[in-house]
Amino acid sequence: MSKNIGMQVVVTSVKQVADTVKCFRFVPVDGSDMVLPRFSGGSHVVVTMKGKDAAGNTVTYRNPYSLMSSPDDSSCFEISVLRTENSRGGSHFMHDQVKEGDILTISNPVNLFPVSAGGRKHIFIAGGIGITPFMAMMDALAARNGKFELHYGFRSRSHGAYWRELEERYGHSRVRTYCQAEGQMIDFGELLEHQPLGTHLYVCGPAPMIEAVKKSAREAGWPDENVHSEEFLAPPSGQPFIVKLKKSQRNIMVGEHQSILEALEAANVDANFLCRGGACGQCETAVCSADGEIEHNDHYLSKDERQSGKKIMICVSRLNGRELVLDL
Amino acid sequence: MGIQFKDETFRDSFTFKNSPQTIKRFPFPFPEDKYMYSVNIEPHVPGAKGSVYEHLFDVDEHYVSEMRDRALVLKEDPLRCQALPHMMTAQWDLLELIMECKSKSYPEHFTLEKQGDKWHWINRPLGIDDTFTFGDVSTLPYEPMEYITRQTQGDFAIMDQRDNNLWMDAGMVTTQADWSLDFDIGMNFMEWHGPVPLAHQMGVFERALKFLLNLQHGHPVRRLNWTMTINPRLDTSPENYHKWGKDRTEVTPDNVGDKVHLRVELQSLWRLPRSNAIVFPIRCYLIKMSELVTEPKWGRRFHRVLKDLPPELADYKGLTRYRDTVVEWLSKYDDGKPTSIGFGLD
């Protein structure tokens, strides 16, 4: 929801924790009576960044990042940001511009990847930066003696963040690391085959890894309800196109590296959003007509809904064509 | 000045009544002269001073007597309060939410002091002064949800969120309009709304569920629901149907004013922070027909709403047997004049 963007925080520490990963710590702005809310493991916040593009124009970036600090610690929030190669601006801004003392705006925590409260045992499978939501989940589970194990794969020892701390904190019986550079791989089939009833499986990482884990789970006879995944989906780039707003009678250009949602925000159109990653459904928008083909990039709409061409998730999906008319 | 709490009953002698100030703040639920379901959800933010919306957890003159009635219900039937084991984190979330809200809203009646996880809670109207360790159940006389909801007006259902659905996995339900926690516990959102007529075909529940799954911490929402109750009885539960069902046959033209009540539920929905569960407080307000008609717009409008209510809804709400008698009684207060749209008084 567009209301959910208004918490100001100070950056109190920026730490390089792996080759391309920085950890940021946020606390409430001095003198404000704001208290950081408690949250549940798996929650993310959307960070709003005001930067400048190559031409010197102000650009607003909004990216979702998992909270990785202890949910029981209301003194600070921590997130980790991977510097992505094809950054649309946000991750480079966080890495290159944000320093201690800066003020950022973050949303309230939202959880689209919760731990299933009734689960008897929890298996976490992380790939690379996908470790972050599990850090808060494990913290909360450990506090109430919940049973879990983490299987964490990364490219090299210097690319992987936090693996040493996690091994130390939870021990090798609960934390297994897999270093690709050393030829170690998670054997999903082996891992998923002999688990007790009531076990829940959570996977966060690159799309191919999520698909492979889901496939192994299906083959091992896991019920879909016990398999959970989160993939942070950055809005993909594409050719520019025009969005026509039927109700407000406006034409807005969506740029190559912009999402429809971002283009609307840049034009001061108030649109609903929550996750900005195609998962939550909040930004579902009715399509009046499309001159071109809609590229559905979300995880939310059903096959039928996509085929109908009547709906689009404007945070990640776009048009391959000339003009899209939305009922806004 | 604090609230003057009344000493009254919601059973046997039925001495409940509203003071003139409390009638004025009654949450009359009809913005127009007819009624149909809608997803009438709005942000639950503090409202006008003196109204039931002024504070997010409203405390009124009936507080002490309502809590005494709840204790009586629980004594006879402990299953009115239940929580599945995985709901303990949500129970603590709820205790924190209510204690923080009430101590801020009503400092003259409630005080919360925190030293780390050592909490000190004072509830003056009920004479409670307890120190406990947040997170340690053994330091409270009841589990956290039962402890705090024995001190809070309204029923409470706590819903766990999983598999893209909401599951009723805990609750305190003693002032309900004919539904049972013991029956519904463990059910999901679609299952426990199964009996509601018309609304399924309208897609109301699919939309409501989709909305609730995205409910955010810090942004609670509310809606009003309504039914009618004969005698000011809070506990109209299926378990006790044998006690109250027959009341419906006792409505006569002479006793409508005192015996027939409009029952309004102020329902709010809150995301709980640590557990990611949703708590659903259902706060019941009762008003006698004789009290309702002291406000001319309410008398006119309720007459029209009740007269034209679709029969399926009248049946579902259990009004069919006495509806005509009440409509006839209310007609004396409806001179046919137009009413203004909305909740404002004419």
Mutate to test the interface with B, among A1, A38, A201, A315 (most CBs of B within 10 A): A38
For residue A72, the model assigns a pLDDT of 87
Enter the tokens of residue B244. 């109250």
Query: Considering its fold, how many domains does chain A have in total?
Result: 3
Question: A274–B216: do the CB atoms touch at under 8 Å?
Answer: yes
Do residues B46 and B55 lie in contact, with contact meaning Cβ atoms separated by under 8 Å?
A: yes
Average pLDDT, rounded, for chain B:
92
- Using a CB–CB cutoff of 8 Å, tell me whether B81 touches chain A: no
For residue B340, the model assigns a pLDDT of 93
Dihedral-angle region of residue A42 (phi above 0 means left; psi in -120 to 50 means alpha; beta otherwise) = left
Question: Cα(A3)–Cα(A271) distance, rounded to whole angstroms?
Answer: 10
pLDDT at residue B156 is higher than 80:
yes
Do residues B176 and B80 lie in contact, with contact meaning Cβ atoms separated by under 8 Å?
A: no
Alpha helices in chain A (DSSP H): 90-96, 132-143, 163-170, 188-193, 207-219, 260-266, 303-308
Question: B218–A108: do the CB atoms touch at under 8 Å?
Answer: yes
Closest chain B C-alpha to A275 CA, distance in angstroms: 10
The enclosing domain of A188 has a CATH number of 3.40.50.80
Dihedral sign, CA of B201, B206, B211, B217? positive
pLDDT band at B176 (very low <50, low <70, confident <90, very high): confident
For residue B344, the model assigns a pLDDT of 82
- Using a CB–CB cutoff of 8 Å, tell me whether B18 touches chain A: no
- Using a CB–CB cutoff of 8 Å, tell me whether B34 touches chain A: no
Question: A3–B219: do the CB atoms touch at under 8 Å?
Answer: yes
Instruction: Write out chain A residues lying below 8 Å of B215, CB-based.
Output: none
Burial of residue A284, with CB atoms counted within 10 A of its CB: 0-12 exposed, 13-18 middle, 19 or more buried = middle
pLDDT at residue B325 is higher than 70:
yes
Is the same domain home to A137 and A224? yes
Q: Which residues pair with B8 in a beta bridge?
A: none
Interval A171-220: pLDDT, tens: 999 999 999 999 999 999 999 988 999 999 999 999 999 999 999 999 99
For residue A324, the model assigns a pLDDT of 97
For residue A3, the model assigns a pLDDT of 47
Is the same domain home to A130 and A157? yes
- Using a CB–CB cutoff of 8 Å, tell me whether B160 touches chain A: yes
- Using a CB–CB cutoff of 8 Å, tell me whether B84 touches chain A: yes
| Chosen domain end from A48, A76, A111 | A111
3-state SS class at B334:
coil
pLDDT at residue B1 is higher than 70:
no
Whether residue A116 lies inside any domain: the answer is no
Instruction: Write out chain B residues lying below 8 Å of A44, CB-based.
Output: none
Question: A109–B273: do the CB atoms touch at under 8 Å?
Answer: yes
Whether residue A154 lies inside any domain: the answer is yes
Instruction: Indicate the angle between helix axes A132-143 and A163-170, nearest 10 degrees.
Output: 10
Enter the tokens of residue A313. 């998730």
Whether residue A47 lies inside any domain: the answer is yes
Question: Cα(A133)–Cα(A141) distance, rounded to whole angstroms?
Answer: 13
A–B: how many Cβ contacts below 8 A?
61
Name the residue range of residue A154's domain. Answer: 121-230
Question: Cα(A139)–Cα(A71) distance, rounded to whole angstroms?
Answer: 7
Closest chain A C-alpha to B107 CA, distance in angstroms: 18
What is this model's ipTM?
0.78
Distances (CA, A) of B298 to A299, B42, B253, B267: 48, 22, 19, 21
Among B213, B214, B217, select the one facing A109 at the smallest CB separation: B217
For residue A302, the model assigns a pLDDT of 85
Question: B276–A144: do the CB atoms touch at under 8 Å?
Answer: no
Among B90, B214, B218, select the one facing A37 at the smallest CB separation: B218
Alpha helices in chain B (DSSP H): 20-24, 63-76, 88-105, 144-149, 181-184, 189-192, 204-213, 241-244, 256-259, 289-292, 296-308, 311-316, 320-331
Is the same domain home to A209 and A289? no
The enclosing domain of A316 has a CATH number of 3.10.20.30
Question: B160–A110: do the CB atoms touch at under 8 Å?
Answer: no
Catalytic member of B68, B223, B248, B321: B223
Ranges A275-284, B39-48, B75-84, B239-248, most confident:
B75-84
Is the same domain home to A136 and A61? no
| Chosen domain end from A58, A87, A111 | A111
Q: Which residue does chain B place closest to A283, by CA atoms?
A: B214
Closest chain B C-alpha to A96 CA, distance in angstroms: 31
Closest chain A C-alpha to B135 CA, distance in angstroms: 10
Instruction: Write out chain B residues lying below 8 Å of A4, CB-based.
Output: 216, 219
| Chosen domain end from A197, A230, A263 | A230
Residues of chain A with pLDDT under 70: 1-5, 232-233
Is the same domain home to A155 and A223? yes
Distances (CA, A) of A295 to A39, A233, A263, B220: 34, 14, 17, 34
Q: Examine the residue annotation and report whether B223 is marked as an active-site residue of this protein.
A: yes
Of the candidates B159, B210, B162, B189, which has an alpha carbon nearest to the alpha carbon of residue A223? B162
For residue A233, the model assigns a pLDDT of 66
- Identity at B5, one-letter amino acid code: F
Closest chain B C-alpha to A19 CA, distance in angstroms: 32
Whether residue A1 lies inside any domain: the answer is no
Whether residue A56 lies inside any domain: the answer is yes
pLDDT at residue B40 is higher than 90:
no
pLDDT band at B188 (very low <50, low <70, confident <90, very high): confident
Q: Which residue does chain B place closest to A70, by CA atoms?
A: B274
